[in-house]
Every structure is written in structure tokens, then in C-alpha cells.
Copies of this chain bind each other. A is one copy, B any other.
Amino acid sequence: MKIRYELLKTEKNTKARLGRLHTNHGVVDTPMFMPVGTRATVKTLSPEELYDVHSGIILANTYHLWLRPGEDIVEKAGGLHKFMNYKGPILTDSGGYQVFSLAKNKKKDITEEGVHFKSHIDGSNLFLTPEKSIEIQNKLGSDIAMSFDECPPASADYTYMKNSVERTLRWAKRGKEAHKNPNQSLFGIVQGGAYQDLRAYSAKETVKLDFDGYSVGGVANDGESKEDMYRAIDYSIPYIPEDKVRYLMGVGDPVDIIEGVIRGIDIFDCVLPTRLARHGNAFTKHGKINIKNAKYKEDFTPLEDTCDCYCCKNYTKAYIRHLLSVDEVFGKRLLSIHNIRFLIRLTEELREAIKEDRILEYKEEFLKEYQGDSYES
């Protein structure tokens, strides 16, 4: 079966939506944040720890799994769910973003057929096409596959962007034709950078191809401002049908999640919570803190008094600081749990706010306390 999006409610004053996504691996609530498990593991964590933080869908990266262990091994294992022992839904990206970001300093050759580029591991020659991306994702057996798209830099000029949007549309069509798995849904991706007419065109034409869900892509690229990101959403969303789920790729900053939800986005993903954790950073309602700071040396309180995660219920800042200071993995685990839970809790609160038609008030209250990166610096 394909996924089905059930729209429960649209918030009174904004485009924020409360919904439910029915998948072959359970029903999940939206708005939702998806933790990223690049190589079939959300860094340092077990599936049980993900269930504990109320994870819904998780994301795995097609590009990385294609290279190691290879999609054939995952297929022989019975698919990604069995391979990595995750019982909830899984979304795979198309590999497009990695081709353009990991290989950004290496020569690559974009042709109509696909992209020739070098492996980030051993520099060997690779060639990814829309059909190949779909074939790999079919073998990985995710619940949701993504169309293979070009991810041009935010700095691309209008002509480049227009041609790129056209090519991404042709690639989306080819991918859809190559996609045969009735138990895997396929999403289209809206591109067009910061150009209003290109976003509108990309959205309308992508929707004509009739996908199971739609993503707003190309928004977390280097050099893009937050205003450009919000505009890209505003330019795209009006053309996406109400009965399809909307996914903003690669976005995990708390403020961006709130702004995205207000603009009608249902799903987010980002490596931010686990990456921050590895560097000793924790989300708090006041902003990010770095637990390695000497002031936490004798701080025997949890990261957040009001947090319900395993880390906050059992460990103090002083202990987590100690673990990070001596480079012990368990510290990174604890921070990963907290940071993912922080973003999932944020989406839970946003769902409550939508129910009560008070999402703008929620945003205002949140921003009054939250100082982002500038907190503590």
C-alpha cells in the first residue's frame, strides 16, 4: 500500500496543518521531525531509543547505502527495516543532494542522462540516474522514496535555475516511470531556488506528475538566507494539493521548523540534533549550549528541568560534561537522545498549538525565550 495523508485540521490564522500519515509501518502524526540514520543507523542510537523519544519516520541516505553496504545486501537482508531493526516507517532520499554536496569540490558532469561524479570514499567514478536512484531505493525497501533531482547552489542565476528545474522535471517523470513498487510511495521535489515564478512552475508541473507526497527542496543549501528559505516555501505550497503531505528537506533548526509549520509544512528532517550532540551541543528552550563549557563542571541539574527524555531524567550536566570532555561515546548518546527529543517535543507542542488555533502565540512565546546560537556566546 501507498501512504495516505489525512488532513485533520488547518490552523485558523495560518497555513499550519494537523495531520496523520498512514504507512505500512504505522500511523504517524504531523507536523513531524524525522531523525536521520544516514548509514542505516541514527548515529550512536538504538531503535528502542528512537521509539522512546517518540520518533515516527526516520530517514536513511540512498547514496551512502548504495556505496556501503550496497543495496543488494540490504535487499537480501529483507530490506532496510529488517536490516537495521527499525519497526517504524523509513524514508530514503534520492542521493541527489549528496551527489551535489559531498562532491562539491570535485569535478562532476551533469548530463541529461544523469550525473557522473567521484565517490567521496575512494574517488572512484560513479554514475547516478533517476532510474538508478529509484532502483536502489526499491531494493532498500523504504516506505517513501524520493525523486532524483538536481540541487543547484542558491547562487545559481535565473537561466541556470530554469534549465535545472526543467531537467529535474524530466528526471522526476523518468523516475516515476521506473518506479514499480506498489508498497513504496514516491515523492516529487519542488525546486526553483528563490525565484517565485520558477517555484510556482516547478510545483505545478511536479504535481501534474501525480506523486504520493511533495517536498520543497533546495532550501538548506549553502549561501541561502532564512528569508529565501521561507519565501521558497511560500512560493511552492499554494500549488501542492491539500490531500498530500509536504516535506521540507534538510531543515532542523527549531525556529525554521516553527516557520515551516506555519507555512504549511508537515515533515522535516535534519542531521543537526545528532551532529550537535557529537560536538557537545544541546538544544534548550533558551538556545543552544555547549556542555563542555567549564561552568557546567559542578552543575548537578539536568540539561532541562522540563524535558522528559532519558538523558534529562537520569543524568546531570556535570556528568555529561565529563563524558564529552574525555570523549566517551555515552555522552554523545545522551546528547543525541536529548536533542532529537527536543525537536520531536517541539513538533508535539506545535500540534497542540494547531489544535488550539494558537500557533502564532506559541511562536511568540517560543521566540521570547529562544536565542538560538547566540545564547551563551
Contacts and interface: CB of A to CB of B under 8 A. Distances in A.
B329 A69 contact: no
Given A297-B73, A298-B76, A330-B45, A322 B85 contact: no
Contact of A46 (B64, B73, B330): B330
A77 interface: yes
A360 interface: no
A44 interface: yes
B41 A318 contact: no
Contact of A319 (B44, B84, B300): B84
B318 A73 contact: yes
A315 B68 contact: no
Given A46-B330, A68-B325, A69-B325, A319 B39 contact: no
Contacts of A322: 39-40, 68-69, 73, 83
Interface in A303-356: 314-316, 318-319, 321-323, 325-326, 328-333
Interface residues of A, number: 36
B330 A69 contact: no
Contact of A300 (B41, B68, B76, B84): B76
Contacts of A120: none
A311 B164 CA distance: 46
B68 A326 contact: yes
Contacts of A325: 68-69
A331 B40 CA distance: 11
B39 A85 contact: no
A43 interface: yes
A330 B77 CA distance: 18
Contacts of A68: 322, 325-326
Given A44-B333, A73-B322, 10 more contacts: A39-B326, A44-B329, A44-B330, A76-B298, A77-B319, A83-B316, A84-B319, A329-B329, A329-B332, A329-B333
Q: 3 shortest A-B CB distances, which residue pairs? A: A69-B322, A44-B329, A41-B330
